[in-house]
Amino acid sequence: MSTLKPPVGPHDHVRGAPDAPITLVEYGDYECPHCGRAYWILKSLEEAMDDDLRFVFRNFPLSQVHPHALAAAHAAEAAGLQGRFWEMHDLLFENQEFLEGPHILQYALRCGLDLDRFARDVESEVVAAKVKADFLSGARSGVNGTPTFFVNGHRYDGSWEPGPFLAALNALRENVPDPPH
């Protein structure tokens, strides 16, 4: 079984309780139709598991297949530099069929971003390096397609249909020891 390399750290985008017993990492591509479908499933898992789930998204743009994936990943990371990663992440997945430049600028506006800074950041080496680092970490972790999930540091190859995925996470949650007091 593949393990997550590197483990979740300070450079990751994390949503959920920091001390959640379950950490779910997705390597995703904003233009991938399977990731688009998984987006809605993950939203329902986050809601169902509440504070017991911490969700992390890492970029794995498959730009050979999805021509807008890399620009979308850069947009999400540029939004992240203004503290709006998750807002942009959600807009990109909820509007997957519209990932061209003018649409991305509309999403930046909807996120309340400083558009001049956003335009600079999208093209910056900092953003490019973050997307590349995510991609390389995926390659080191054995990711070869999207979406790919890791649960508590181990690759999850089970069903990601809502019922079975939730059942697998719940089973794991029941077997996680309580932290020492």
What is the model's pLDDT at position 55? 98
What is the model's pLDDT at position 174? 86
Instruction: Tell me if 40 is assigned to some domain.
Output: yes
Instruction: Tell me if 166 is assigned to some domain.
Output: yes
Summarize the confidence of residues 90-108 as an average pLDDT.
97
Residue 126 sits in a domain whose CATH number is: 3.40.30.10
**Band of residue 178 on the pLDDT scale cut at 50, 70, 90:** low
114 vs 33, 34, 130, 150, CA distance in Å?
29, 31, 20, 34
Nearest 5°: CA angle at 15, between 111 and 175?
Answer: 160
Average pLDDT of the residues of the chain: 95
What is the model's pLDDT at position 8? 97
pLDDT one-digit tens code per residue, 37-52: 999 999 999 999 999 9
Summarize the confidence of residues 56-61 as an average pLDDT.
98
pTM of the model: 0.95
For residue 96, pLDDT over 90 is answered with yes
Please tell me the total count of domains within the chain. Answer: 1
Instruction: Tell me if 5 is assigned to some domain.
Output: no
Task: For residue 139, give its domain range.
Answer: 13-174
Q: Which residue stretches of the chain are H helix?
A: 33-49, 69-80, 85-94, 101-110, 115-122, 125-140, 162-175
Instruction: Tell me if 138 is assigned to some domain.
Output: yes
Summarize the confidence of residues 90-104 as an average pLDDT.
97
Instruction: Tell me if 39 is assigned to some domain.
Output: yes
